[in-house]
Amino acid sequence: MAITIGTSARAEDRTAVEYAARIERVSKSFAGPAGQQLVLDDISLDVAPGEFVTLLGASGCGKSTLLNLVAGLDRPSSGAIATDGRPALMFQEHALFPWLTAGKNIELALRLRGVPKADRRDEAERLLELVRLGGAYGKRVHELSGGMRQRVAMARALAQDSRLLLMDEPFAALDAITRDVLHGELTRIWETANSGGPAAGGLSVLFVTHNVREAVRLAQRVVLLSSRPGRIAREWTVGMPQPRRIEDAAVAELSLEITEQLRGEIRRHGQH
């Protein structure tokens, strides 16, 4: 089967693109002691411009593997992946350089993007303001709390000026209150980026999590992967308006339905 990884056409043609990410019949295998181990099997998924999609599933189902494939960090064994430009990737760990300040970490991404040196500080400070860290430009990583570090990591991802943000459980290591705050911040940034509609560019998000309520709180669409090998088991459209609260009754109700489906997938595949 053909293997393709690519981006959409030139920047001036980007408004005509029908998807932020297109995954077509993608499978991925890794070599193991018993031979090739199939991790992802025949995944097809589109992320529309400006759409927020969460990938949900049990540990080991291939969520992060799929995100890495979309990011171009690895190649599928078969199938095709195309994205609207180069995606930005945010990991569970902040991955900031400890010898740089918060602002200089963001400036590094701006430099790699080709932003002129004279403009980098202003843009870094603007992005810090966007994630509500105004005044933190000169702070070292060790001076920042876990939540603040993730905000800087988010600003650095946004500095790449991508139309597709890939997030691999970025809030999993945070306490519940900080995670709740950052859910709200991410929703605000995503809504602001899309306030002008698809023609204005906007921002699409593909967000990996194993937390069902997090998936429902954030997403317009929740995609459930089966246990290994990962296949798309079911999708849900989340029609609740934003902003949502993780304790909202409608969030809890849909989360219960999805959790039951997830438990069924785990039982079906003999995992505990």
Angle separating helix axes 146-158 and 102-113, nearest 10 degrees:
20
Domain residue extents for the chain:
97-161
What tens digit of pLDDT does each residue of 106-127 get?
999 999 999 999 999 999 999 9
Confidence (pLDDT) at 54: 97
The pLDDT-based confidence of 11 (bands split at 50, 70, 90) is: very low
Query: What distance in Å separates the CA atoms of residue 115 and residue 55, rounded to the nearest whole number?
Result: 32
Instruction: Give the integer Cα–Cα distance in Å for 104 and 55.
Output: 32
Q: Is 211 exposed, middle or buried (0-12, 13-18, 19+ CB in 10 A)?
A: middle
**pLDDT tens for residues 176-234?**
999 999 999 999 999 999 987 655 568 999 999 989 999 999 999 999 999 888 999 99
Q: Residue 242 and residue 239: Cα distance in Å, rounded?
A: 9
Better-scored residue on pLDDT, 247 or 60: 247
- Name the pTM for this structure: 0.89
Of the two residues 18 and 217, the one the predictor is more confident about is: 217
